[in-house]
Chains A and B, each alone.
With several copies, the nearest count.
Chain A
């Protein structure tokens, strides 16, 4: 968060992009977008564009990494070199390693890994265009990619960042609010159970603001979870449709 307090981020109670304090940016998501992957998801969230591919459960190489009692999950969160203001070097940065780790841990929670001893589930996420909140968007997409691959899951995990702007807690921080605001707080949950699988913050918050942020995050996550469900239903209804077509052809 910036030490610079001069940036104006709210005007007449609205945010620079015209949103209300608690309003999400436009979000759309689609599964099954890739031919070669076992599962995939393409997600747009504001100007974020994120592509996720899932492979597995499959055999793990090198074998000495395999766990005899469960599958492991390997997640790679990467920023495309051109997805950010200054071209990023192709080699992953420390931030990308950290986010890969916490996304892995979040996904671990919803998977029945013990069903696939010695196996691996590989999740590759590329942020093609970055606009603030990529980790929550990436996790939301990965969750759908896993479902699209038909991997058994306890539930979907869904993410949304809240933040602090001019002493107000706002939902779904934009790129500029992340940069010039007072605090960022990414949250991910299994919406139905309220289990928090990812939680971070940076900035300056009181305990009350964190509590408010968690409440607002949960509401937003509820909305995004419904979009995830619709995206999965869309896939199955497409499958059903093509099944009908098959019948007609007969």
Chain B
């Protein structure tokens, strides 16, 4: 801990010195993102999946589908659950065990983006098999595999891309027993558009988009915003002990709205790729 903290403080000073000269550690512009690769359908056993390499960060998301009872207050709606694991595979500082507050916050931020944008329309008739009794339940599970910074945006993209290639079984009702039968044949999961996350961090007084690992460590404040392909802001999350002014938030929202357009395009492109192979990644 101690020696890490000293490194942390030296690293922070080094980054700040660079930023004062208008430079980032990897020579990007302050609002420039890193390269992104998506491999859809990477997991055979999952009903939907995607692996994302975002800069040095690698994330995989898988969607498993099952049928079960709806929540009592939404008897005709499907159910979606997002989990995220900061796997110890991805960083020497992560430990195994149930998700801690960091992983919980990330999962909930990704979840809110998907939920509030209604990109997966839970009220769609296809989501409900028998009203009040049986609906589709989606588990979106995200594993961080290599922590290269900006885990929220990479996770949100992997989850969105996995949902974009998710299939659910066609359902037939047995006429005698009135019980539903899941057929082998599958339909695409209903989807209306897409949503992406955009994360900005503050180091000293500088605001940067898409933090690398070093910038993630040095940040004093974080602001993530989820924006749908129709330009609507669906989620915001400020994090860390530092603060923002109203003006800073307004500036970030402007920058984010324009960047979101590019990112939302990537998802629809990826969903039409053929099934990818992981070794196409040079990770």
Contacts and interface: CB of A to CB of B under 8 A. Distances in A.
Interface of A: 1, 3-4, 28, 30, 33-38, 40, 42, 44, 47, 49, 51-53, 55, 58, 68, 76, 78, 80-87, 90-91, 94-95, 97-98, 100-102, 105-106, 108-109, 122, 124, 126, 128-131, 183, 185, 190, 194-207, 210-211, 214-215, 218
Contact of B90 (A36, A101, A210): A36
Nearest to A4: B123
A87 B139 contact: yes
Given A35-B148, A37-B89, A126-B87, A76 B116 contact: no
A199 B236 contact: yes
A3 B87 contact: no
B106 to A, nearest CB: 10
Given A35-B56, A82-B43, A3 B279 contact: no
B62 A82 contact: yes
B241 A108 contact: yes
Given A35-B146, A94-B108, A126-B143, A196 B85 contact: no
Interface in B186-238: 223, 228, 231-238
B259 interface: no
A91 B99 CA distance: 10
B168 interface: no
B186 to A, nearest CB: 15
A124 B154 CA distance: 22
A81 B246 contact: no
Interface in B141-174: 141, 143, 145-148
B62 A80 contact: yes
Interface in B231-283: 231-246, 249-250, 253-254, 257, 278-279, 283
A184 B192 CA distance: 22
Contact of B121 (A3, A38, A40): A3
B245 A196 contact: yes
Given A53-B88, A105-B240, A200-B237, A129 B43 contact: yes
A108 B242 CA distance: 9
B131 to A, nearest CB: 15
Interface of B: 2, 42-46, 49, 56, 58, 60, 62-64, 66, 77, 83, 85, 87-92, 96, 98-99, 101-102, 104-105, 107-108, 112, 115-118, 121-123, 139, 141, 143, 145-148, 223, 228, 231-246, 249-250, 253-254, 257, 278-279, 283
Contacts of A122: 88
B135 to A, nearest CB: 14
A67 to B, nearest CB: 9
A197 B63 contact: no
A28 B101 contact: no
A83 B238 contact: no
Interface of B is mostly: mixed
A87 B92 contact: no
Contacts of B148: 35-36
Given A3-B123, A82-B62, A210 B89 contact: no
A33 B283 contact: yes
B246 A196 contact: yes
Contact of B241 (A38, A53, A100, A105): A105
A185 B249 CA distance: 13
Contacts of B279: 28, 30, 42, 44
A195 B243 contact: yes
Contacts of A68: 2
29 contacts: A33-B283, A36-B146, A38-B92, A40-B89, A44-B278, A49-B278, A53-B90, A82-B43, A82-B63, A83-B46, A90-B141, A97-B105, A101-B105, A102-B238, A106-B241, A126-B143, A126-B145, A185-B236, A194-B246, A195-B243, A199-B238, A200-B237, A202-B234, A203-B234, A205-B232, A207-B257, A210-B233, A211-B246, A211-B250
